[in-house]
């Protein structure tokens, strides 16, 4: 696509992932952190609310703006950590600790069903907002496997 894209995140892992995904489609993109844009508090009631909060905070730069919000929702935990997935990792962003919390919460149940949800909010230079949601159903596996991801994706 033509023009510049602002990826509305300060998360280095997301910047790396978005960079790999977007490189074939965008001539130029930059993170909100690189532009010294503020990182808004995630006060929304839904993933879409939070994705839009982040996109709107970065949209003032006058470029296309893309933001996401995502989380792991474990059915036996009533959908937790869900909207609070990052907060479960604490201020140090310790996702191993967060996964231990999930594991401990599942100690007395055989239900390992879960889903991962990701919402993208895209704002064009004219201010039009577009929201997209994806959901991946699955089951929790222990111990966590992998070494190429971040967050709840080890």
Q: Which residues are catalytic?
A: 69
Query: Can you tell me which residue has the tokens 């474990």?
Result: 74
For residues 1 and 23, the answer to whether their CB atoms sit within 8 Å is no
Neighbours of 13 (CB within 10 A): 13
For residues 64 and 124, the answer to whether their CB atoms sit within 8 Å is yes
Q: In what order do the strands lie in the sheet with 64-74?
A: 28-31, 4-7, 64-74, 113-123, 129-139
Q: For residue 127, what are the contacts with CB-CB under 8 A and spacing of at least 6?
A: 59
For residues 66 and 122, the answer to whether their CB atoms sit within 8 Å is yes
Does residue 94 have a cis bond before it (omega within 30 degrees)? no
């Amino acid at each position: 696509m033509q023009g510049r894209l602002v990826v509305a995140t300060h998360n280095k892992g997301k910047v790396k992932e978005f960079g790999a995904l977007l490189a074939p489609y965008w001539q130029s993109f930059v993170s909100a952190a690189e532009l010294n844009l503020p990182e808004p508090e995630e006060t929304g009631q839904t993933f879409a609310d939070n994705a839009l909060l982040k996109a709107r905070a970065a949209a003032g730069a006058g470029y296309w703006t893309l933001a996401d919000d995502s989380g792991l929702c474990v059915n036996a935990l009533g959908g937790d950590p869900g909207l609070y997935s990052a907060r479960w990792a604490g201020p140090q962003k310790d996702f191993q600790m967060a996964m231990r919390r999930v594991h401990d919460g599942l100690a007395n149940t055989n239900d390992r069903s879960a889903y991962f949800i990701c919402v993208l909010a895209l704002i064009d230079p004219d201010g039009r907002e577009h929201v997209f949601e994806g959901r991946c159903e699955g089951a929790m596996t222990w111990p966590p496997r992998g070494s190429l991801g971040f967050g709840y994706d080890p």
